[in-house]
Each structure stands twice: as C-alpha cells, then as structure tokens.
Structure 1
Amino acid sequence: MATQEHVRRQFGDVEDNELRLEKDKAEQVIDALNQDLADTYVLYHQLKKHHWNVEGAEFRDLHLFLGEAAEHAEEAADLIAERAQALGGTPVSGPAAQEEHAKVEYEGQDVYDIRTSLRHDLRMYGDIVESLRDHIELATNLGDHASAQMLREILVEVEDDAHHIEHYLEDDTLVFPEAMDR
C-alpha cells in the first residue's frame, strides 16, 4: 500500500484556480466561506444535540424538524467546502479548527428545556443569516457571482428553518400552560 508523506497544500494557502478568479479575490472569498463552513458545522452539531435530547408532548414533530434542519446544515456545509476547494483553498475541517473559525458559539454540553434550546438555535440562525448576507455582498463585489449565488440559495434554506423555529416558539400550543411552567 502506497503512502503519501508530503503535504500537498498547507491550510490557508490558496492556489490558482481554473475558475479564473484572481488569487487575492479568491483568498477573501475562501476566508468568508471557511467562516460560513465553521458556523454551519457548529449549527449542525447544536441541532443534532437538540434532535437527540428533545422530549415532551411535541417530541415527534420537533425531533423530525431538528433532524431535517441538521441535514440542511450538513448539505450546505458540503456545498461551501466544495466551493472553497474549487477556488483553490482548503476547507476548514476538524472540531478545533471549526471552533477557531466560527463566529457563532455552541451552547455547550448541558441539556436545556426545548424552548431555551430553540431560542439558542434561533439566535445562532440569526447570526448566520447576517454573516451570509455580508458574504454574499463580498463575493458579489469581488466578481465571484457563483459563490454569491450558492450562498443566496443557502440563505433561503437557513431563513426558512429559522422561520420554522419562530413558529415553534409561539405561545399557541396544545400543551397545557401549567405544563410549560415546569
């Protein structure tokens, strides 16, 4: 079995790309994409945590929704990583590197009631929405319309999932009010 012992590209180095985006512009977009990638993985892990730990009268619906939302995040992460690579960069990978590059903060290992958990998710979604909007503008201004379009499509999905969480957090529920006070 052959082994490869040399590094082909150092993380942070950007190679010329066949997409004809100038290297200095590609570097800026790749930095933004790596932040988006890291943020998306932090969101993914938090959503999976809530998917695993959700309980109560609305368990089934929330369990399914959180699983789907985590899948959306995972799909977005894959698109972002592949775009960073196509631009000549290296996608950020591994928990420590993702934590270092992320602008959003994971809520930690503790398990909270579902309303608190969803509020944490909604806050993270809001931060990601703002960041995606900034990065769409950056990519557009740098002439990288394909990255901007990809991020727009991801933004639509992120906003849709956030909007669903807003609905779950509304006061109207089938659960008796005294059960919500526990």
Structure 2
Amino acid sequence: MAKKPTEEVRARKKAALATPTDLGSNAIRDLEGALNAILADTYALYLKTKNFHWHMSGPHFRDYHLLLDEQAAEILATTDDIAERVRKIGGTTLRSIGHISRLQRVKDNNADFVTPQDMLAELREDNRDHVKRLREVHDLADEHEDVATASLIENWIDETEKRAWFLFETSRGG
C-alpha cells in the first residue's frame, strides 16, 4: 500500500513546478483555467476533425479528406503552444484524456455515419464557437495585462477563422 505524501513532500513538489512570473496569483489561476479549457477544446476539435477526415466519403472525398487532414494538423500544432503558455505563466496543464474530457466544450460526434455536408457544417460551427471562446480568453488576458497570451490568442483566432471560412466556402452549394 502506497504511503500518502506528507505536507512537506507536497509543498516540495509544488515548489519544483513554480515558474517565475510577474503575473499575480489571481491572473495565473484565471488564465491557467481558461487556457486549459481552450487546450481541452483544441484536442477535442483536433480529434473530431481527424474522425471526419477518416470517415469522409462521397464524390468530393479526396478534396474534403485532404482539407480536414490539413486543418487537423494545424489544430494539433497549436496544442504545444497553449500548454507551454500555461507553464510559462506558472500554471500546470492537462495531464490525461480524462482531464480533457472533463474540460472540453466541443461536443463529440460518435455517429456511425455522418454525411460530408453535415461534417463540414458541424466543424464550421465548432470552429466558430472556438473563436468565441478564444476571444473570451483574450479579454481575460487583457484584463490581467498578459500581452504575450493575448498576442498568441490573436494568431489562434486568425487560424480558427480561416478554418471556419474554408469550411463555409467548401460546403456552399454551387
């Protein structure tokens, strides 16, 4: 049976993770929570995009399959930046799939079959919702005068808006 760590051991472990920052404890707490929720959403959006990429079908298969693969790679590329930003400000970040599932707001799609048009529409809306959440975290970063986080978020907003735009234009009737 494993021993429970003493208060001293827990304090030492916490001190080992302490990252020097000029942000106050309230800012760290608020931004850590908000960025971890964004990170969980980002992973959920990545997996949903890959799910639809893997299960794409129909006459536009190749174009849609490649589009979703490209978008999934872009989404995944932001995860490290988000997690590292949490650590740079002195927070801790996600540790498991279970942690992601507790924080994510992007709804999973476990359907056996989804039409290509419904896939594109669902991802478009998920990306639009993601932009709204990113703007909220940007406002929080501004409130705490965390210009580095705000600056990163501006790039993530632009990338997410581009994905939503591509999904919109791709799904337009011709």
Instruction: State the TM-score, normalized to the length of structure 2.
Output: 0.87
The corresponding residue for 1:162 is 164
Task: For structure 1, list consecutive stretches of 5 or more residues without a partner in the other structure.
Answer: 173-182
CA-to-partner distance for each residue in 1:37-90, whole Å, 9 max, x for gaps? Answer: 000000000000111111122111111110111111111111101101111112
Task: Tell whether the 8 Å contact from 1:16 to 1:23 is kept in structure 2 after alignment.
Answer: no
| 2:151 corresponds to 1:146 | no
Share of identical aligned residues, percent?
Answer: 28
Structure 2: distance between partners of 1:93 and 1:51: 26
CA offsets, 1:107-155, max 9 Å, x none? Answer: 2243301111111111211111100001001101111110011011111
Distance 1:22 1:116 in 2: 44
Q: What is the match of residue 17 of structure 1? A: 19
Q: Does the Cα contact within 8 Å between 2:141 and 2:149 map onto a contact in 1?
A: yes
Cα distance in 2, alignment partners of residues 111 and 82 from structure 1: 36
Q: Which residue number in structure 2 is paired with residue 52 of structure 1?
A: 54
Q: Aligned partners of 2:91, 2:113: CA distance in 1, in Å?
A: 36
Q: Map 1:94-173; keep pairs closer than 5 Å.
A: 94-172=96-174
The answer for the alignment partner of 1:34 in structure 2 is 36
The aligned residue for residue 70 of structure 2 is 68
Q: How many residues align?
A: 164
Secondary structure of the residue aligned to 2:92 is coil
- The aligned counterpart of 1:92 is 94
Letter of the 1:66 counterpart? L
Contact 2:124 2:163 survives alignment (8 Å): no
C-alpha separation in 1, matches of 2:123 and 2:63 = 16
| Contact 1:107–1:120 (8 Å) recurs in 2 | no
Q: Distance in 1 between matches of 2:30 and 2:134?
A: 14
Whole-Å separation in 1 of the counterparts to 2:45 and 2:163:
12
Q: Aligned partners of 2:108, 2:95: CA distance in 1, in Å?
A: 16
Of stretches 45-54 and 110-119 in structure 1, the one that deviates more from structure 2 is: 110-119
Q: Structure 2 regions of 5+ residues with no counterpart?
A: none
Q: How far, CA to CA, are the matches of 2:113 and 2:99 in structure 1?
A: 24
What one-letter code is carried by the residue in structure 2 that aligns with 1:44?
Y
> 2-side partners of 1:39 and 1:162: how far apart?
15
What is the one-letter code of the residue matched to 1:54?
Answer: M
Instruction: Indicate if the aligned counterparts of 2:21 and 2:90 stay in contact, CA closer than 8 A.
Output: no
CA contact (8 A) 2:41 2:106 kept: yes
